[in-house]
Amino acid sequence: MGISKEESLRVLAADDSVVMRGIMRRLFAMQDEGQLSGLPAMELCGVAQDGVECLEAAARLKPDVLVLDLEMPRLNGLEVLDRLRDENPGLPVIMCSSYTERGARSTLEALARGAADYVMKPSEQRDLATALQSLAQELLPKIAALAKRRERPSERRTALTGQGARAGRPDERTGAAIEVVVIGLSTGGPSALEQMLPRLPRDFPVPVLIVQHMPKLFTGALAERLDRCCALRVMEAYGSAAILPGTIWLAPGDSHMEVSERRMGSLPGREARMRLHRQEPLNHCRPSVDYLFHSAARLYGAGVLALMMTGMGSDGLSGARAVHEAGGVVLAQDEATSAVWGMPGRVVESGIANAVLPLAAIAGELRQRVSASRTMLQAVGEAAVSTAVSRREGIHGLF
């Protein structure tokens, strides 16, 4: 069900900066005047200059989305989020963050406390026009996606049941052992990772590589935060790092991450290494999930397990298809537990998902599939050795 032309999305903005409140007013005036096309109608139904005003306005105006500043008097953004948990738990919140180390850490804490997404404040822009353009590209599509997420929950549950039934088909894998897990996320990703990754055990036998759409300062802070709560080591990726079990690698913001092969000199075998580069954004993203998934499919073939989790847009769809065509496993997070069912939804709609899973079941599915694939390969190898020995003994028995 779409939003009718007569019906506007109602947005509440809370910020203690007079300049920022003025920018928000101008932004929604431009959107209302039709200068920003391709999105549903939106209106700024109210502004608040501190946390107390924000909570009062949210109760009175009943907005579809709240755009919330972190640093405000009386109640700051984190305190507002804590109150909203009880007073208005279904209201999607987008944090307005400054591009600083402190801003990055506070934003990640806000996402853990229930905020759905964030945008960067345009404080570094040269002029008002550039600031408006930047905010329009980042903020307005997120408002539209999060507001749509709230529509008709009963219809979403019905649709999900059908999607799950279509995706629940037997594996078509060739029997290769899973050698690597690659994950792509965007909107809602940090909170989802913080819930899922700590459920992977310390002895998880394959490396995990993740592309989360975030700026550079944020990915470093996210890696540190995840490392504190995970049994596995979590690190921000760096060039030429050896890709070995025991570590979860997070792509750094503003760099694409790929896996590449390095021959081991005169010794037999190969070694997987990290490759980072800053080629043009792909699908408007850098890092891009597609770069990681395509490179994993090339290097590991059927040994890839690709997981698409919550996120807006379609980044990673092409790479997930490459993994599927190489014989690997493709999993997707379900709609009900995704902040935005864009990236995983595209994978499911394409028909390449081996399974569609709620967030709480993903870690268990990863453990089961990785373990089963490696156990099966070991059993096949042992059976082959046993057969060879039996044949040799049979031949010797003839003489």
pLDDT of residue 182: 98
Say whether 213 is catalytic: yes
- Among candidate residues 164, 211, 153, the one with its CA nearest the CA of residue 353: 164
Catalytic residue among 69, 117, 213, 295: 213
List pLDDT tens digits, range 179-219.
Answer: 999 999 999 999 999 999 999 999 999 999 999 999 999 99
pLDDT of residue 158: 38
pLDDT of residue 248: 98
Catalytic residue among 64, 69, 117, 315: 315
Q: What is the DSSP string of 220-245?
A: HHHHHHHHHH-SSEEEE--TT-B--T
Q: Using 50, 70 and 90 to split pLDDT, how confident is the model at 230?
A: very high
Q: Using 50, 70 and 90 to split pLDDT, how confident is the model at 271?
A: confident
Q: Using 50, 70 and 90 to split pLDDT, how confident is the model at 394?
A: low
Q: Using 50, 70 and 90 to split pLDDT, how confident is the model at 7?
A: confident
Which domains are seen in the chain, by residue range? 9-150 (3.40.50.2300), 171-379 (3.40.50.180)
Of 108-122, 332-346, 377-391, where does mean pLDDT reach its minimum?
Answer: 377-391
Catalytic residue among 8, 97, 106, 186: 186
Q: How far apart are alpha carbons 138 and 26 in whole angstroms?
A: 15
Average pLDDT over the chain, rounded to whole? 87
List pLDDT tens digits, range 310-322.
Answer: 999 999 999 999 9
Q: What is the DSSP string of 8-25?
A: -EEEEEE-S-HHHHHHHH
Mean predicted confidence (pLDDT) in 57-86: 96
pTM of the model: 0.87
pLDDT at 372 exceeding the cut of 70: yes
pLDDT at 160 exceeding the cut of 50: no
